[in-house]
Protein backbone atom coordinates (compact mmCIF):
# COMPACT_ATOMS: atom_id res chain seq x y z
CA UNK A 1 0.00 0.00 0.00
CA UNK A 2 1.29 3.45 -0.87
CA UNK A 3 1.55 6.19 1.73
CA UNK A 4 -1.51 8.42 1.70
CA UNK A 5 -1.36 12.09 2.66
CA UNK A 6 -3.28 11.27 5.85
CA UNK A 7 -0.35 9.06 6.88
CA UNK A 8 1.93 12.12 7.15
CA UNK A 9 0.41 13.66 10.32
CA UNK A 10 0.11 10.14 11.68
CA UNK A 11 3.87 9.49 11.22
CA UNK A 12 4.57 12.57 13.32
CA UNK A 13 2.00 11.69 15.95
CA UNK A 14 3.44 8.18 16.19
CA UNK A 15 7.04 9.40 16.27
CA UNK A 16 6.29 11.80 19.13
CA UNK A 17 4.20 9.30 20.98
CA UNK A 18 6.86 6.58 20.64
CA UNK A 19 9.62 8.99 21.72
CA UNK A 20 7.63 9.94 24.80
CA UNK A 21 6.98 6.35 25.61
CA UNK A 22 10.60 5.28 25.56
CA UNK A 23 12.24 8.32 27.18
CA UNK A 24 11.42 11.35 29.33
CA UNK A 25 14.12 13.44 27.63
CA UNK A 26 12.46 16.36 25.77
CA UNK A 27 15.58 16.84 23.63
CA UNK A 28 15.10 13.34 22.27
CA UNK A 29 11.39 14.00 21.68
CA UNK A 30 12.25 17.07 19.60
CA UNK A 31 15.10 15.32 17.77
CA UNK A 32 12.84 12.44 16.76
CA UNK A 33 10.06 14.78 15.56
CA UNK A 34 12.51 16.98 13.61
CA UNK A 35 14.22 14.00 11.98
CA UNK A 36 10.87 12.44 11.10
CA UNK A 37 9.92 15.72 9.43
CA UNK A 38 13.21 15.75 7.54
CA UNK A 39 12.66 12.19 6.31
CA UNK A 40 9.06 12.83 5.34
CA UNK A 41 9.87 15.92 3.25
CA UNK A 42 11.64 13.78 0.66
CA UNK A 43 9.80 10.52 1.25
CA UNK A 44 8.51 8.94 -1.94
CA UNK A 45 4.80 8.45 -1.28
CA UNK A 46 4.83 5.24 -3.32
CA UNK A 47 6.73 3.73 -0.38
CA UNK A 48 4.56 2.01 2.18
CA UNK A 49 3.99 3.49 5.66
CA UNK A 50 6.06 0.77 7.41
CA UNK A 51 9.10 1.99 5.47
CA UNK A 52 8.74 5.24 7.41
CA UNK A 53 8.02 3.27 10.59
CA UNK A 54 11.38 1.56 10.17
CA UNK A 55 13.17 4.92 9.80
CA UNK A 56 11.40 6.44 12.80
CA UNK A 57 12.15 3.53 15.10
CA UNK A 58 15.80 3.34 13.97
CA UNK A 59 16.01 7.05 14.87
CA UNK A 60 14.44 6.36 18.22
CA UNK A 61 16.82 3.54 19.04
CA UNK A 62 19.80 5.67 18.04
CA UNK A 63 18.61 8.77 19.89
CA UNK A 64 17.93 6.84 23.09
CA UNK A 65 20.92 4.50 22.81
CA UNK A 66 18.44 1.74 23.61
CA UNK A 67 18.47 -1.10 21.08
CA UNK A 68 15.10 -2.47 22.18
CA UNK A 69 12.99 0.23 23.85
CA UNK A 70 9.86 -1.92 23.80
CA UNK A 71 11.48 -4.95 25.48
CA UNK A 72 9.52 -4.51 28.71
CA UNK A 73 6.27 -3.86 26.83
CA UNK A 74 6.82 -7.02 24.81
CA UNK A 75 7.52 -9.05 27.96
CA UNK A 76 4.32 -7.78 29.57
CA UNK A 77 2.32 -8.45 26.40
CA UNK A 78 3.58 -12.04 26.27
CA UNK A 79 2.77 -12.52 29.96
CA UNK A 80 -0.73 -11.08 29.55
CA UNK A 81 -1.43 -13.38 26.61
CA UNK A 82 0.15 -16.46 28.22
CA UNK A 83 -2.14 -16.00 31.20
CA UNK A 84 -5.11 -16.25 28.81
CA UNK A 85 -3.78 -19.12 26.74
CA UNK A 86 -5.44 -22.10 28.46
CA UNK A 87 -8.85 -20.42 28.42
CA UNK A 88 -8.44 -19.50 24.77
CA UNK A 89 -7.36 -23.02 23.87
CA UNK A 90 -10.48 -24.27 25.68
CA UNK A 91 -12.62 -21.96 23.51
CA UNK A 92 -11.03 -23.35 20.35
CA UNK A 93 -11.41 -26.99 21.46
CA UNK A 94 -15.02 -26.47 22.51
CA UNK A 95 -16.06 -24.73 19.30
CA UNK A 96 -18.02 -26.14 16.38
CA UNK A 97 -15.30 -25.11 13.90
CA UNK A 98 -11.85 -25.19 15.45
CA UNK A 99 -10.20 -23.53 12.45
CA UNK A 100 -12.61 -20.57 12.29
CA UNK A 101 -12.33 -20.00 16.04
CA UNK A 102 -8.54 -20.21 15.95
CA UNK A 103 -8.35 -17.76 13.03
CA UNK A 104 -10.72 -15.38 14.84
CA UNK A 105 -8.72 -15.48 18.05
CA UNK A 106 -5.40 -15.10 16.21
CA UNK A 107 -6.84 -11.92 14.69
CA UNK A 108 -8.17 -10.76 18.09
CA UNK A 109 -4.57 -10.91 19.36
CA UNK A 110 -3.62 -8.35 16.71
CA UNK A 111 -5.18 -5.74 18.99
CA UNK A 112 -1.88 -5.72 20.93
CA UNK A 113 -0.21 -3.12 18.72
CA UNK A 114 2.06 -0.36 19.97
CA UNK A 115 2.38 1.09 16.47
CA UNK A 116 -1.21 2.31 16.67
CA UNK A 117 -1.51 3.17 20.35
CA UNK A 118 0.94 3.39 23.16
CA UNK A 119 -0.47 1.30 25.92
CA UNK A 120 -1.28 -2.27 26.73
CA UNK A 121 -4.91 -2.25 27.73
CA UNK A 122 -6.08 -5.63 29.00
CA UNK A 123 -9.69 -4.47 28.66
CA UNK A 124 -9.13 -3.98 24.92
CA UNK A 125 -7.69 -7.46 24.70
CA UNK A 126 -10.65 -9.00 26.53
CA UNK A 127 -13.09 -7.06 24.37
CA UNK A 128 -11.33 -8.23 21.20
CA UNK A 129 -11.52 -11.85 22.41
CA UNK A 130 -15.21 -11.50 23.18
CA UNK A 131 -15.87 -9.95 19.77
CA UNK A 132 -13.94 -12.77 18.08
CA UNK A 133 -15.98 -15.42 19.90
CA UNK A 134 -19.35 -13.71 19.40
CA UNK A 135 -18.78 -12.62 15.84
CA UNK A 136 -16.10 -14.77 14.19
CA UNK A 137 -14.48 -13.94 10.87
CA UNK A 138 -16.17 -14.38 7.53
CA UNK A 139 -16.57 -18.13 6.88
CA UNK A 140 -16.23 -17.93 3.12
CA UNK A 141 -12.82 -16.23 3.40
CA UNK A 142 -11.88 -18.68 6.13
CA UNK A 143 -12.82 -21.65 3.92
CA UNK A 144 -10.67 -20.25 1.13
CA UNK A 145 -7.77 -20.07 3.57
CA UNK A 146 -8.52 -23.57 4.87
CA UNK A 147 -8.42 -24.93 1.32
CA UNK A 148 -5.18 -23.06 0.58
CA UNK A 149 -3.62 -24.60 3.71
CA UNK A 150 -4.67 -28.08 2.57
CA UNK A 151 -3.22 -27.52 -0.89
CA UNK A 152 0.05 -25.92 0.20
CA UNK A 153 3.33 -27.77 0.62
CA UNK A 154 5.33 -24.97 2.23
CA UNK A 155 3.56 -22.39 4.41
CA UNK A 156 5.07 -19.20 5.85
CA UNK A 157 3.30 -17.63 8.82
CA UNK A 158 4.45 -14.00 9.15
CA UNK A 159 3.97 -12.97 12.78
CA UNK A 160 3.23 -9.42 13.83
CA UNK A 161 3.48 -8.50 17.51
CA UNK A 162 4.67 -9.82 20.85
CA UNK A 163 1.73 -11.07 22.92
CA UNK A 164 -0.17 -11.61 19.67
CA UNK A 165 2.11 -14.57 18.93
CA UNK A 166 0.52 -16.42 21.87
CA UNK A 167 -2.80 -16.03 20.03
CA UNK A 168 -1.04 -17.16 16.84
CA UNK A 169 -0.12 -20.39 18.62
CA UNK A 170 -3.85 -21.29 18.67
CA UNK A 171 -3.93 -21.10 14.88
CA UNK A 172 -0.52 -22.72 14.37
CA UNK A 173 -1.88 -25.71 16.33
CA UNK A 174 -4.60 -26.09 13.69
CA UNK A 175 -2.12 -25.99 10.80
CA UNK A 176 0.00 -28.90 9.48
CA UNK A 177 2.96 -28.11 11.74
CA UNK A 178 5.51 -29.97 9.62
CA UNK A 179 4.73 -27.68 6.69
CA UNK A 180 4.66 -24.35 8.52
CA UNK A 181 7.51 -21.94 9.28
CA UNK A 182 6.84 -19.05 11.62
CA UNK A 183 8.64 -15.86 10.55
CA UNK A 184 9.51 -13.02 12.92
CA UNK A 185 11.22 -9.65 12.37
CA UNK A 186 15.00 -9.68 12.05
CA UNK A 187 15.46 -7.09 14.79
CA UNK A 188 13.54 -5.11 17.39
CA UNK A 189 11.06 -2.56 16.03
CA UNK A 190 8.11 -1.27 18.06
CA UNK A 191 6.56 -4.27 19.83
CA UNK A 192 6.91 -6.58 16.84
CA UNK A 193 7.76 -10.18 17.71
CA UNK A 194 11.38 -11.31 17.35
CA UNK A 195 13.26 -14.51 18.20
CA UNK A 196 13.36 -13.50 21.86
CA UNK A 197 9.55 -13.55 22.06
CA UNK A 198 9.27 -16.87 20.27
CA UNK A 199 11.71 -18.42 22.71
CA UNK A 200 10.16 -16.84 25.76
CA UNK A 201 6.77 -18.38 24.99
CA UNK A 202 8.27 -21.69 23.75
CA UNK A 203 6.81 -21.46 20.25
CA UNK A 204 10.04 -22.78 18.73
CA UNK A 205 9.22 -26.23 20.05
CA UNK A 206 5.93 -26.25 18.09
CA UNK A 207 6.97 -25.17 14.58
CA UNK A 208 10.06 -24.17 12.62
CA UNK A 209 10.99 -20.52 13.12
CA UNK A 210 13.08 -18.11 11.08
CA UNK A 211 13.55 -14.35 11.06
CA UNK A 212 13.31 -12.20 7.95
CA UNK A 213 16.57 -10.35 8.57
CA UNK A 214 14.97 -6.90 8.60
CA UNK A 215 13.65 -4.42 11.16
CA UNK A 216 10.69 -3.05 9.19
CA UNK A 217 7.37 -3.22 11.05
CA UNK A 218 6.05 -5.12 8.02
CA UNK A 219 7.67 -7.21 5.30
CA UNK A 220 9.54 -5.32 2.57
CA UNK A 221 10.84 -8.31 0.61
CA UNK A 222 13.79 -6.49 -0.98
CA UNK A 223 15.09 -5.46 2.46
CA UNK A 224 14.93 -9.00 3.87
CA UNK A 225 17.74 -11.54 4.16
CA UNK A 226 18.64 -13.74 1.17
CA UNK A 227 17.50 -16.77 3.19
CA UNK A 228 14.05 -15.29 3.77
CA UNK A 229 13.78 -14.05 0.19
CA UNK A 230 14.49 -17.56 -1.10
CA UNK A 231 11.90 -19.12 1.22
CA UNK A 232 9.34 -16.47 0.31
CA UNK A 233 9.99 -17.05 -3.38
CA UNK A 234 9.46 -20.81 -3.21
CA UNK A 235 6.66 -21.12 -0.65
CA UNK A 236 3.09 -21.99 -1.60
CA UNK A 237 1.16 -19.98 0.96
CA UNK A 238 1.84 -16.95 3.14
CA UNK A 239 -0.33 -16.19 6.17
CA UNK A 240 0.52 -12.58 6.99
CA UNK A 241 -0.62 -11.07 10.28
CA UNK A 242 -1.36 -7.42 10.97
CA UNK A 243 -1.54 -4.04 9.30
CA UNK A 244 2.21 -3.71 8.66
CA UNK A 245 2.28 -6.88 6.59
CA UNK A 246 -0.86 -5.78 4.72
CA UNK A 247 0.70 -2.41 3.96
CA UNK A 248 3.94 -3.91 2.65
CA UNK A 249 2.67 -7.06 0.87
CA UNK A 250 -0.74 -5.89 -0.33
CA UNK A 251 -1.28 -6.06 -4.06
CA UNK A 252 -0.89 -8.85 -6.53
CA UNK A 253 0.58 -12.02 -5.04
CA UNK A 254 -2.40 -14.38 -4.48
CA UNK A 255 -0.32 -16.76 -2.33
CA UNK A 256 -0.68 -14.24 0.50
CA UNK A 257 -3.64 -14.24 2.94
CA UNK A 258 -3.90 -11.31 5.33
CA UNK A 259 -5.26 -11.77 8.84
CA UNK A 260 -5.66 -8.50 10.68
CA UNK A 261 -7.67 -6.30 12.92
CA UNK A 262 -8.14 -2.96 11.13
CA UNK A 263 -7.02 -0.11 13.37
CA UNK A 264 -6.62 2.83 11.02
CA UNK A 265 -9.10 4.63 8.73
CA UNK A 266 -6.68 4.72 5.78
CA UNK A 267 -6.31 0.94 5.81
CA UNK A 268 -10.05 0.52 6.36
CA UNK A 269 -10.65 2.59 3.22
CA UNK A 270 -8.00 0.68 1.29
CA UNK A 271 -9.55 -2.66 2.24
CA UNK A 272 -13.12 -1.39 2.03
CA UNK A 273 -14.16 -2.18 5.60
CA UNK A 274 -14.68 -0.43 8.93
CA UNK A 275 -12.12 0.42 11.60
CA UNK A 276 -12.25 -2.35 14.23
CA UNK A 277 -13.19 -5.10 11.77
CA UNK A 278 -11.43 -8.47 11.75
CA UNK A 279 -10.33 -9.26 8.22
CA UNK A 280 -9.29 -12.46 6.44
CA UNK A 281 -8.43 -11.42 2.93
CA UNK A 282 -6.64 -13.11 0.06
CA UNK A 283 -4.27 -10.73 -1.68
CA UNK A 284 -5.55 -9.16 -4.88
CA UNK A 285 -4.27 -6.42 -7.15
CA UNK A 286 -7.23 -4.47 -5.72
CA UNK A 287 -5.27 -3.96 -2.52
CA UNK A 288 -2.87 -1.63 -4.28
CA UNK A 289 -5.41 0.72 -5.78
CA UNK A 290 -4.51 4.36 -5.30
CA UNK A 291 -6.90 6.54 -3.35
CA UNK A 292 -5.93 10.14 -2.77
CA UNK B 1 2.45 30.57 23.30
CA UNK B 2 5.29 28.53 21.88
CA UNK B 3 4.70 25.68 19.47
CA UNK B 4 4.55 22.36 21.27
CA UNK B 5 5.63 19.12 19.65
CA UNK B 6 1.96 18.02 19.54
CA UNK B 7 1.29 20.99 17.24
CA UNK B 8 3.47 19.46 14.51
CA UNK B 9 1.15 16.59 13.49
CA UNK B 10 -1.73 19.06 13.85
CA UNK B 11 -0.14 21.53 11.36
CA UNK B 12 0.00 18.73 8.83
CA UNK B 13 -3.53 17.53 9.54
CA UNK B 14 -4.81 21.10 9.22
CA UNK B 15 -2.82 21.77 6.05
CA UNK B 16 -4.20 18.66 4.37
CA UNK B 17 -7.69 19.27 5.60
CA UNK B 18 -7.63 22.91 4.44
CA UNK B 19 -6.19 21.92 1.06
CA UNK B 20 -8.94 19.35 0.59
CA UNK B 21 -11.56 21.84 1.59
CA UNK B 22 -10.53 24.47 -0.94
CA UNK B 23 -9.68 22.30 -3.95
CA UNK B 24 -10.23 18.79 -5.34
CA UNK B 25 -6.82 18.78 -7.01
CA UNK B 26 -4.66 16.02 -5.42
CA UNK B 27 -1.49 17.68 -6.78
CA UNK B 28 -2.29 20.76 -4.69
CA UNK B 29 -3.04 18.59 -1.65
CA UNK B 30 0.40 16.97 -1.94
CA UNK B 31 2.15 20.27 -2.64
CA UNK B 32 0.64 21.87 0.45
CA UNK B 33 1.55 18.91 2.67
CA UNK B 34 5.12 18.76 1.31
CA UNK B 35 5.66 22.50 1.70
CA UNK B 36 4.22 22.43 5.21
CA UNK B 37 6.71 19.67 6.05
CA UNK B 38 9.54 21.72 4.56
CA UNK B 39 8.57 24.77 6.63
CA UNK B 40 8.15 22.76 9.80
CA UNK B 41 11.59 21.11 9.55
CA UNK B 42 13.30 24.42 10.23
CA UNK B 43 10.52 26.13 12.19
CA UNK B 44 11.72 27.67 15.44
CA UNK B 45 9.46 26.14 18.07
CA UNK B 46 9.51 29.37 20.05
CA UNK B 47 7.29 30.78 17.29
CA UNK B 48 3.56 30.49 17.97
CA UNK B 49 1.34 28.06 16.04
CA UNK B 50 -0.46 30.88 14.13
CA UNK B 51 2.87 31.82 12.56
CA UNK B 52 2.76 28.43 10.87
CA UNK B 53 -0.94 28.89 10.15
CA UNK B 54 -0.06 32.03 8.22
CA UNK B 55 2.56 30.17 6.14
CA UNK B 56 0.23 27.25 5.42
CA UNK B 57 -2.62 29.46 4.27
CA UNK B 58 -0.35 31.64 2.14
CA UNK B 59 0.81 28.41 0.48
CA UNK B 60 -2.78 27.33 -0.02
CA UNK B 61 -3.79 30.63 -1.60
CA UNK B 62 -0.76 30.53 -3.91
CA UNK B 63 -1.21 26.88 -4.85
CA UNK B 64 -4.91 27.33 -5.64
CA UNK B 65 -4.59 30.79 -7.18
CA UNK B 66 -7.55 31.71 -4.97
CA UNK B 67 -6.91 34.75 -2.80
CA UNK B 68 -9.82 34.02 -0.45
CA UNK B 69 -10.67 30.32 -0.49
CA UNK B 70 -12.95 30.63 2.55
CA UNK B 71 -15.04 33.50 1.13
CA UNK B 72 -18.14 31.36 0.69
CA UNK B 73 -17.70 29.75 4.13
CA UNK B 74 -17.42 33.20 5.68
CA UNK B 75 -20.53 34.37 3.88
CA UNK B 76 -22.50 31.37 5.12
CA UNK B 77 -21.17 31.83 8.67
CA UNK B 78 -22.26 35.46 8.70
CA UNK B 79 -25.70 34.50 7.35
CA UNK B 80 -26.12 31.75 9.94
CA UNK B 81 -25.20 34.11 12.77
CA UNK B 82 -27.30 37.01 11.42
CA UNK B 83 -30.35 34.75 11.39
CA UNK B 84 -29.81 34.17 15.12
CA UNK B 85 -29.02 37.77 16.02
CA UNK B 86 -32.46 39.01 17.12
CA UNK B 87 -33.02 35.99 19.36
CA UNK B 88 -29.56 36.38 20.88
CA UNK B 89 -30.11 40.08 21.47
CA UNK B 90 -33.37 39.17 23.19
CA UNK B 91 -31.47 36.79 25.48
CA UNK B 92 -29.03 39.55 26.41
CA UNK B 93 -31.78 42.10 27.04
CA UNK B 94 -33.80 39.69 29.10
CA UNK B 95 -30.91 38.57 31.28
CA UNK B 96 -30.12 39.60 34.84
CA UNK B 97 -26.59 40.67 33.90
CA UNK B 98 -26.41 41.97 30.33
CA UNK B 99 -22.61 42.16 30.33
CA UNK B 100 -22.07 38.57 31.51
CA UNK B 101 -24.60 37.25 29.00
CA UNK B 102 -23.08 39.27 26.16
CA UNK B 103 -19.56 38.06 27.05
CA UNK B 104 -20.80 34.46 27.22
CA UNK B 105 -22.54 34.65 23.85
CA UNK B 106 -19.56 36.41 22.23
CA UNK B 107 -17.45 33.44 23.36
CA UNK B 108 -20.09 30.96 22.17
CA UNK B 109 -19.67 32.46 18.68
CA UNK B 110 -16.01 31.46 18.78
CA UNK B 111 -17.17 27.92 18.01
CA UNK B 112 -17.32 28.97 14.32
CA UNK B 113 -13.67 28.18 13.60
CA UNK B 114 -12.40 26.60 10.39
CA UNK B 115 -8.86 26.46 11.73
CA UNK B 116 -9.90 23.67 14.11
CA UNK B 117 -12.46 21.85 12.00
CA UNK B 118 -13.55 22.08 8.44
CA UNK B 119 -17.28 22.45 8.54
CA UNK B 120 -19.93 24.83 9.65
CA UNK B 121 -22.20 22.82 11.89
CA UNK B 122 -25.27 24.77 12.96
CA UNK B 123 -25.92 22.16 15.67
CA UNK B 124 -22.55 23.00 17.22
CA UNK B 125 -23.47 26.68 17.14
CA UNK B 126 -26.82 26.05 18.81
CA UNK B 127 -25.20 23.83 21.43
CA UNK B 128 -22.59 26.51 22.18
CA UNK B 129 -25.33 29.12 22.59
CA UNK B 130 -27.28 26.86 24.92
CA UNK B 131 -24.15 26.15 26.98
CA UNK B 132 -23.39 29.88 27.17
CA UNK B 133 -26.92 30.65 28.42
CA UNK B 134 -27.09 27.74 30.88
CA UNK B 135 -23.56 28.03 32.18
CA UNK B 136 -22.22 31.57 31.61
CA UNK B 137 -18.57 32.51 32.01
CA UNK B 138 -16.87 32.96 35.36
CA UNK B 139 -18.31 36.06 37.03
CA UNK B 140 -15.14 37.06 38.85
CA UNK B 141 -13.18 37.19 35.60
CA UNK B 142 -16.09 38.97 33.97
CA UNK B 143 -16.16 41.59 36.74
CA UNK B 144 -12.44 42.17 36.28
CA UNK B 145 -13.07 42.77 32.59
CA UNK B 146 -16.08 45.01 33.36
CA UNK B 147 -13.89 47.11 35.66
CA UNK B 148 -11.10 47.29 33.06
CA UNK B 149 -13.64 48.50 30.48
CA UNK B 150 -14.83 51.21 32.87
CA UNK B 151 -11.26 52.33 33.56
CA UNK B 152 -10.03 52.29 29.97
CA UNK B 153 -9.89 55.27 27.66
CA UNK B 154 -8.99 53.46 24.45
CA UNK B 155 -10.19 49.88 23.91
CA UNK B 156 -9.18 47.56 21.07
CA UNK B 157 -11.46 44.61 20.34
CA UNK B 158 -9.53 42.03 18.29
CA UNK B 159 -12.04 39.98 16.34
CA UNK B 160 -11.48 36.38 15.37
CA UNK B 161 -13.81 34.76 12.84
CA UNK B 162 -16.55 35.56 10.37
CA UNK B 163 -19.94 34.65 11.80
CA UNK B 164 -18.45 35.06 15.26
CA UNK B 165 -18.36 38.82 14.69
CA UNK B 166 -22.18 38.84 14.74
CA UNK B 167 -21.93 37.43 18.27
CA UNK B 168 -19.27 40.04 19.02
CA UNK B 169 -21.81 42.70 18.15
CA UNK B 170 -23.79 41.68 21.25
CA UNK B 171 -20.80 42.48 23.42
CA UNK B 172 -19.78 45.60 21.49
CA UNK B 173 -23.28 46.94 22.21
CA UNK B 174 -22.50 46.66 25.94
CA UNK B 175 -19.19 48.52 25.63
CA UNK B 176 -18.68 52.31 25.50
CA UNK B 177 -18.87 52.46 21.71
CA UNK B 178 -17.06 55.79 21.41
CA UNK B 179 -14.01 54.28 23.08
CA UNK B 180 -13.87 50.96 21.20
CA UNK B 181 -12.15 50.11 17.95
CA UNK B 182 -12.87 46.76 16.36
CA UNK B 183 -9.78 45.21 14.72
CA UNK B 184 -9.92 42.62 11.96
CA UNK B 185 -7.19 40.78 10.06
CA UNK B 186 -5.38 42.67 7.31
CA UNK B 187 -6.11 40.01 4.69
CA UNK B 188 -7.98 36.77 4.20
CA UNK B 189 -6.70 33.79 6.22
CA UNK B 190 -8.88 30.77 7.00
CA UNK B 191 -12.34 32.08 7.99
CA UNK B 192 -10.97 34.97 10.02
CA UNK B 193 -13.00 38.15 9.84
CA UNK B 194 -11.80 40.92 7.53
CA UNK B 195 -13.22 44.28 6.42
CA UNK B 196 -15.55 42.51 3.99
CA UNK B 197 -17.28 40.69 6.85
CA UNK B 198 -17.56 43.80 8.96
CA UNK B 199 -19.21 45.63 6.08
CA UNK B 200 -21.47 42.75 5.13
CA UNK B 201 -22.99 42.65 8.62
CA UNK B 202 -22.98 46.46 9.03
CA UNK B 203 -20.77 46.50 12.09
CA UNK B 204 -18.86 49.52 10.80
CA UNK B 205 -21.88 51.70 11.59
CA UNK B 206 -21.72 50.67 15.27
CA UNK B 207 -18.03 51.17 16.18
CA UNK B 208 -14.77 52.32 14.64
CA UNK B 209 -13.04 49.57 12.68
CA UNK B 210 -9.45 49.07 11.57
CA UNK B 211 -7.45 46.16 10.24
CA UNK B 212 -4.11 45.05 11.62
CA UNK B 213 -2.36 44.91 8.24
CA UNK B 214 -1.40 41.25 8.56
CA UNK B 215 -2.76 37.86 7.47
CA UNK B 216 -1.77 35.82 10.52
CA UNK B 217 -4.66 33.90 12.11
CA UNK B 218 -3.77 35.65 15.35
CA UNK B 219 -1.97 38.89 16.20
CA UNK B 220 1.81 38.92 15.80
CA UNK B 221 2.45 42.56 16.70
CA UNK B 222 5.76 42.87 14.85
CA UNK B 223 4.10 41.72 11.60
CA UNK B 224 1.27 44.23 11.85
CA UNK B 225 0.97 47.62 10.16
CA UNK B 226 2.63 50.70 11.75
CA UNK B 227 -0.86 52.15 12.30
CA UNK B 228 -2.02 49.13 14.26
CA UNK B 229 1.27 48.88 16.18
CA UNK B 230 0.88 52.50 17.28
CA UNK B 231 -2.73 51.98 18.38
CA UNK B 232 -1.82 48.78 20.20
CA UNK B 233 1.07 50.53 21.95
CA UNK B 234 -1.08 53.38 23.26
CA UNK B 235 -4.38 51.64 24.05
CA UNK B 236 -5.51 50.89 27.59
CA UNK B 237 -7.33 47.63 27.12
CA UNK B 238 -7.32 44.85 24.53
CA UNK B 239 -10.19 42.37 24.29
CA UNK B 240 -8.77 39.54 22.21
CA UNK B 241 -11.07 36.88 20.83
CA UNK B 242 -10.17 33.28 20.06
CA UNK B 243 -7.33 30.80 20.24
CA UNK B 244 -5.14 32.47 17.61
CA UNK B 245 -5.02 35.71 19.57
CA UNK B 246 -4.32 33.79 22.79
CA UNK B 247 -1.48 31.89 21.12
CA UNK B 248 0.13 35.04 19.75
CA UNK B 249 -0.49 37.53 22.57
CA UNK B 250 -0.39 35.24 25.60
CA UNK B 251 2.22 36.13 28.20
CA UNK B 252 2.94 39.30 30.03
CA UNK B 253 0.88 42.24 28.88
CA UNK B 254 -1.90 42.66 31.50
CA UNK B 255 -3.85 45.08 29.28
CA UNK B 256 -5.00 42.05 27.29
CA UNK B 257 -8.10 40.00 28.19
CA UNK B 258 -8.67 36.79 26.27
CA UNK B 259 -12.17 35.60 25.44
CA UNK B 260 -12.21 32.21 23.84
CA UNK B 261 -13.73 28.79 23.54
CA UNK B 262 -10.94 26.25 24.05
CA UNK B 263 -10.88 23.83 21.15
CA UNK B 264 -7.47 22.15 21.40
CA UNK B 265 -5.83 20.06 24.15
CA UNK B 266 -2.52 21.92 23.94
CA UNK B 267 -4.19 25.26 24.63
CA UNK B 268 -6.35 23.67 27.34
CA UNK B 269 -3.17 22.47 29.05
CA UNK B 270 -1.48 25.84 28.60
CA UNK B 271 -4.46 27.67 30.15
CA UNK B 272 -5.15 24.95 32.70
CA UNK B 273 -8.73 24.18 31.67
CA UNK B 274 -10.68 21.59 29.72
CA UNK B 275 -11.33 21.41 25.98
CA UNK B 276 -14.75 22.96 25.32
CA UNK B 277 -14.53 25.47 28.18
CA UNK B 278 -15.41 29.14 27.72
CA UNK B 279 -12.58 31.26 29.06
CA UNK B 280 -12.30 34.92 30.14
CA UNK B 281 -8.70 35.37 31.19
CA UNK B 282 -6.55 38.39 31.89
CA UNK B 283 -3.10 37.98 30.40
CA UNK B 284 -0.38 36.91 32.80
CA UNK B 285 3.21 35.79 32.37
CA UNK B 286 1.82 32.40 33.37
CA UNK B 287 0.36 32.07 29.91
CA UNK B 288 3.81 31.72 28.42
CA UNK B 289 5.04 28.91 30.63
CA UNK B 290 6.75 26.17 28.67
CA UNK B 291 5.30 22.68 28.82
CA UNK B 292 6.98 19.98 26.76
pLDDT 10s digits, A29-66: 999 999 999 999 989 999 999 999 999 999 999 998 99
Q: Under an 8 A CB cutoff, do A41 and B45 touch?
A: no
B12 CB within 8 Å of a chain A CB:
yes
Contact residues, chain B, for A26 at CB < 8 Å: 292
- Chain A residue with CA closest to B10: the answer is A9
Task: Tell me what pLDDT residue B121 has.
Answer: 82
Give the pLDDT band of residue B285 (cuts 50, 70, 90).
low
What does each C-alpha distance from B160 to B166, B180, B182, B288 come to in angstroms?
11, 16, 11, 21
Q: For residue A204, is pLDDT > 60?
A: yes
Q: For residue B290, is pLDDT > 70?
A: no
Q: Average pLDDT over chain B, rounded to whole?
A: 93
Give the pLDDT band of residue A287 (cuts 50, 70, 90).
very low
Give the pLDDT band of residue B253 (cuts 50, 70, 90).
very high
B265 CB within 8 Å of a chain A CB:
no
A21 CB within 8 Å of a chain B CB:
no
3-class secondary-structure state, position A23: coil
Q: Which of A5, A33, A40 sits opposite B16 (nearest CB)?
A: A5
A280 CB within 8 Å of a chain B CB:
no
Task: Tell me what pLDDT residue A48 has.
Answer: 95
Number of H helices and E strands in chain B, helices first, is 12, 6
Task: Tell me what pLDDT residue A266 has.
Answer: 94
Give the number of beta-carbon pairs within 8 Å between A and B. 44
Least confident of A24-33, A108-117, A191-200, B152-161: A108-117
Task: Tell me what pLDDT residue A120 has.
Answer: 76
Q: For residue B278, is pLDDT > 70?
A: yes
Task: Tell me what pLDDT residue B252 has.
Answer: 80
What does each C-alpha distance from A218 to A4, A6, B234, B245 come to in angstroms?
17, 19, 61, 44
Crossing angle of the two packed helices B49-64 and B7-22, in degrees rounded to 10? 30
User: What dihedral angle (degrees, nearest 10) is formed by the CA atoms of B156, B160, B161, B163?
Assistant: -50
3-class secondary-structure state, position B239: strand
Q: Which of A12, A29, A292 sits opposite B12 (nearest CB)?
A: A12
- Give the distance, in angstroms, between the CA of residue A192 and the centroid of all CA atoms in the same chain: 7
Neighbour tally for A28: CB within 10 Å: 19
- Chain A residue with CA closest to B32: the answer is A5
More confident residue, B1 or A290: B1
Best CA proximity match to B182, nearest among B122, B135, B235, B119: B235
Average pLDDT over residues B146-162: 97
Task: Tell me what pLDDT residue A289 has.
Answer: 38
Neighbour tally for A198: CB within 10 Å: 23
CA distance to partner chain B, nearest, from residue A111 (Å): 24
Q: Under an 8 A CB cutoff, do A16 and B10 touch?
A: no
Residue B132, CA atoms < 13 Å, CB-side half-sphere: 31
Please name every residue paired with B157 in a beta bridge, in sequence order, or none if there are none: B182, B239
Best CA proximity match to B233, nearest among B211, B204, B255: B255
Q: Under an 8 A CB cutoff, do A8 and B33 touch?
A: yes
Task: Tell me what pLDDT residue A151 has.
Answer: 97
Q: For residue A286, is pLDDT > 90?
A: no
- Chain B residue with CA closest to A33: the answer is B5
Q: Distance (Å, rounded) from C-alpha B131 to C-alpha B104?
A: 9
B13 CB within 8 Å of a chain A CB:
yes
Task: Tell me what pLDDT residue A291 has.
Answer: 35
Q: Average pLDDT over chain A, rounded to whole?
A: 93
Q: Under an 8 A CB cutoff, do B38 and A41 touch?
A: yes
Q: Which of A6, A29, A38 sits opposite B5 (nearest CB)?
A: A29
A67 CB within 8 Å of a chain B CB:
no
| A157 close to A255: Cβ distance less than 8 angstroms | no
B23 CB within 8 Å of a chain A CB:
no
Task: Tell me what pLDDT residue B211 has.
Answer: 98
Amino acid sequence: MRTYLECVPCFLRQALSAARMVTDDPAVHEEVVRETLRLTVTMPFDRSPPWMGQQIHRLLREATGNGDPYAEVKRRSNDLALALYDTLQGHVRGSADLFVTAVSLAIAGNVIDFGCRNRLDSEDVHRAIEDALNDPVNEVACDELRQAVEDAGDILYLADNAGEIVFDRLLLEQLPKDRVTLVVRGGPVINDATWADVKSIGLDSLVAVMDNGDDTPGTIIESCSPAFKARFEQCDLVIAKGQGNYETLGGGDPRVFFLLKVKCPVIARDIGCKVGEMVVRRNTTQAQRVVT
